[in-house]
């Protein structure tokens, strides 16, 4: 049977409250009984004050305790004389039927009434000790379990009056009092439990409201409704979770838009050369065009463009998944750049694009990279510059070395790009001017591939506006700890 989380939280709160209430009630009852026992012992002990004074007077008259040792009834007589009167000095009536009391020698003392209700309950627990705490009269064997009150004569302690402590209350009135206290604890505990159940119910609903929203939001995302957002006003962990959920939903919505745009762009990029190929072949089959060198060159160009697009797509896919083959190590960055630039010299010259090079004197500066892949990065950037820079134009290349990194900058002259376009230059299939894409022969994947490769090195690649009026690409690579003495000869 599946139990909802709301019921689990409610049950947990309620069970915890029940355990706390039971423990609290038990502890309160234990301490109430214990403290009440101490209170009763204290009250009983205070009733001995008058008897202490009487014994002090008797001690003075008889000059010691020998009269009690020789005649134990004398101690009981003194005790009954004191306990037979109330605080106003009036004689107390006989105890109620059934109440325990001490037997009296009516023939010897017919004028002394029975003890008062409180005192006759303690008479048999009273013992008399001398100044050395030896038993003079009573059932005691020592003073350990007695509450003691000193008996003094002329400022000197001559004895002790002890009342044996009660470990457990057994009187009817005392039991009735404790029973009433227990009932009060149970009633209070029951009310607290009802209140705890109500608070637990409301609290569980309050805590689970954001969870319910998160559940509905997750189900909406599973149904590809990426515009779903949830509103949670709490500032606790659930509120943070809701914020993270909204950020995730926003990211998924963005990637869904990019996915659709990606499919649309891929379809468009593949459809164009295929449509041209189809038109050329159908024209040849229909006899509209002759099968000659010019026709074959046109078909071949479209096939090459299609093959390059497919190859770039494949390479980008494996680069983004981190499966692109490479061997990272110390690479002489400027040597690789210089070698790559030489391959573009004639093409730059043909398009009347001048190159300005400032690589410094440390040509053996080493960074963590793969030489072949780094050459591919430079080649893609220079290819992009060659295709889109107007003639006559300029490309400027320089480097800046920091403590832990090297910054290679490649910037060209106009045309420039808008601020919005700068943020999308590394997007797949992105072109600032789609109408020029076929004329320039670009697939729109070169910079995206370069970005993936540089990030695999642990570096960064950034785009910004060029001081020459075009675009500036900055490549940041981490410097190698040591230089590789066996570096590829192809790069210097």
DSSP 281: H
Can you tell me the distance from the alpha carbon of 304 to that of 306, in angstroms, rounded to the nearest whole number? 5
Q: Are residues 345 and 481 in the same domain?
A: yes
Q: Are residues 332 and 445 in the same domain?
A: yes
Q: Are residues 246 and 374 in the same domain?
A: no
* Better-scored residue on pLDDT, 14 or 99: 14
Give phi and psi for 273, each to the nearest 5.
Answer: -65, -35
Q: Is residue 475 part of a domain?
A: yes
What DSSP element (H or E) covers 209? helix 172-222
DSSP 91: B
pLDDT value of position 98: 46
Q: What SS3 class is residue 483? A: coil
Q: What SS3 class is residue 364? A: coil
Q: Are residues 206 and 279 in the same domain?
A: no
Q: Are residues 75 and 182 in the same domain?
A: no
Q: Is the pLDDT of residue 103 over 60?
A: no
Q: Are residues 189 and 152 in the same domain?
A: no
Q: Is residue 222 part of a domain?
A: no
Last residue of a domain, one of 294, 319, 344: 319
Q: Is the pLDDT of residue 237 over 70?
A: yes
Q: Is residue 223 part of a domain?
A: no
Q: What SS3 class is residue 362? A: coil
Can you tell me the distance from the alpha carbon of 457 to that of 479, in angstroms, rounded to the nearest whole number? 11
* Better-scored residue on pLDDT, 123 or 112: 123
Q: Are residues 135 and 185 in the same domain?
A: no
Strand order in the sheet with 146-153: 135-137, 126-130, 156-164, 146-153
Domain span including residue 191: 5-41+172-216
Query: How many alpha carbons fall within 13 Å on the CB side of residue 219?
Result: 5
Q: Are residues 56 and 29 in the same domain?
A: no
CATH of the domain at 313: 1.10.287.130
Q: Is residue 16 part of a domain?
A: yes
297-340, pLDDT tens digit by residue? 878 877 877 777 777 677 767 766 666 666 778 888 889 888 88
* Better-scored residue on pLDDT, 330 or 255: 330
* Better-scored residue on pLDDT, 118 or 138: 138
Burial class of residue 241, CB neighbours in 10 A (0-12, 13-18, 19+): middle
Q: Is residue 225 part of a domain?
A: no
Q: Is residue 469 part of a domain?
A: yes
Q: Stretch 144-154: mean pLDDT, rounded? A: 86
Q: Are residues 339 and 462 in the same domain?
A: yes
368-389, pLDDT tens digit by residue? 888 888 888 888 888 888 888 8
Q: What SS3 class is residue 449? A: helix
* Better-scored residue on pLDDT, 421 or 315: 421
Q: Is residue 265 part of a domain?
A: yes
pLDDT value of position 492: 53
pLDDT value of position 260: 79
Can you tell me the distance from the alpha carbon of 360 to that of 345, in angstroms, rounded to the nearest whole number? 20
Cis peptide before 415 (omega within 30 of 0): yes
Residue 228's pLDDT band (cuts 50, 70, 90): confident
pLDDT value of position 32: 67
Residue 188's pLDDT band (cuts 50, 70, 90): confident
Q: Is residue 332 part of a domain?
A: yes
Q: What SS3 class is residue 110? A: coil
Q: Are residues 342 and 241 in the same domain?
A: no
Last residue of a domain, one of 293, 319, 345: 319
Residue 107's pLDDT band (cuts 50, 70, 90): very low
Can you state the angle between helices 172-222 and 5-46, rounded to 10 degrees? 160
Query: What is the b/e burial string over 30-49, where b = at least 16 CB atoms within 10 angstroms of the residue's CB?
Result: eebbeeebeebbeebbebbe
Q: Are residues 353 and 272 in the same domain?
A: no
* Better-scored residue on pLDDT, 438 or 471: 471
Q: Are residues 36 and 54 in the same domain?
A: no
Tokens linked to 217? 């939001």
Mean pLDDT of the chain: 77
Q: Is the pLDDT of residue 173 over 70?
A: no
39-96, pLDDT tens digit by residue? 777 777 777 788 888 888 888 888 888 888 888 888 888 877 777 654 444 444 444 4
Contacts (Cβ under 8 Å, ≥6 apart) of 357: 341, 397, 398
Q: In total, how many domains does the chain have?
A: 4
Please state, for a pLDDT cut of 90, what percent of the chain lies above it.
3
Last residue of a domain, one of 319, 337, 369: 319
């Amino acid at each position: 049977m599946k139990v909802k989380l709301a019921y689990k939280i409610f049950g947990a709160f309620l069970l915890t409250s029940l355990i706390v209430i039971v423990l609290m009630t038990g502890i309160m009852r234990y301490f109430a009984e214990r403290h009440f026992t101490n209170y009763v012992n204290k009250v009983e002990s205070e009733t001995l004050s008058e008897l202490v004074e009487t014994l002090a007077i008797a001690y003075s008259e008889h000059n010691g305790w020998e009269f009690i040792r020789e005649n134990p009834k004398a101690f009981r007589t003194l005790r009954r004389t004191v306990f037979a009167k109330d605080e106003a000095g009036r004689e107390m009536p006989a105890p109620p039927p059934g109440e325990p009391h001490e037997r009296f020698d009516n023939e010897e003392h017919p004028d002394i009434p029975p003890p008062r209700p409180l005192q006759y309950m303690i008479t048999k627990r009273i013992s008399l000790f001398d100044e050395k705490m030896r038993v003079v009269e009573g059932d005691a064997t020592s003073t350990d379990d007695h509450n003691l009150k000193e008996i003094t004569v002329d400022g000197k302690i001559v004895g002790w009056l002890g009342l044996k402590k009660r470990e457990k209350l057994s009187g009817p009135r005392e039991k009735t009092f404790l029973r009433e206290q227990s009932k009060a604890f149970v009633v209070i505990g029951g009310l607290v439990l009802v209140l705890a159940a109500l608070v637990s119910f409301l609290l569980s609903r309050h805590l689970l409201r954001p969870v319910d929203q998160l559940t509905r939001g997750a189900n909406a995302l599973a149904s590809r409704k990426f515009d779903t957002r949830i509103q949670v006003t709490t500032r606790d962990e659930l509120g943070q979770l809701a914020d993270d959920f909204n950020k995730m939903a926003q990211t998924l919505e963005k990637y869904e838009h990019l996915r659709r745009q990606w499919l649309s762009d891929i379809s468009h990029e593949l459809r164009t050369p295929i449509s041209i190929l189809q038109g050329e072949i159908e024209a040849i089959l229909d006899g509209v065009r002759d099968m000659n060198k010019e026709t074959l060159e046109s078909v071949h160009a479209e096939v090459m463009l299609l093959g390059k697009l497919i190859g770039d797509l494949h390479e980008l896919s494996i680069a983004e998944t981190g499966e692109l083959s490479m061997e990272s190590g110390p690479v002489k960055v400027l040597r690789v750049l210089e070698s790559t630039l030489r391959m573009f010299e004639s093409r730059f010259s043909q398009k009347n694009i001048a190159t300005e090079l400032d690589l410094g004197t440390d040509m053996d500066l080493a960074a963590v990279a793969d030489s072949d892949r780094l050459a591919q990065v430079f080649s893609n950037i220079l290819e992009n510059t060659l295709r889109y820079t107007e003639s006559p134009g300029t490309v400027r290349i320089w480097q800046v070395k920091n403590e832990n990194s090297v910054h290679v900058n490649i910037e060209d002259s106009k045309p420039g790009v808008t601020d919005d376009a700068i943020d999308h230059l590394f997007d797949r299939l992105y072109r600032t001017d789609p109408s020029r894409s076929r004329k320039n022969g670009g697939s729109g994947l070169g910079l995206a591939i370069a970005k993936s490769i540089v990030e695999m090195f642990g570096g960064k690649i950034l785009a910004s506006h060029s001081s020459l009026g075009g675009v500036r690409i900055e490549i940041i690579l981490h410097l190698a700890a040591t230089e590789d003495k066996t570096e590829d000869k192809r790069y210097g």
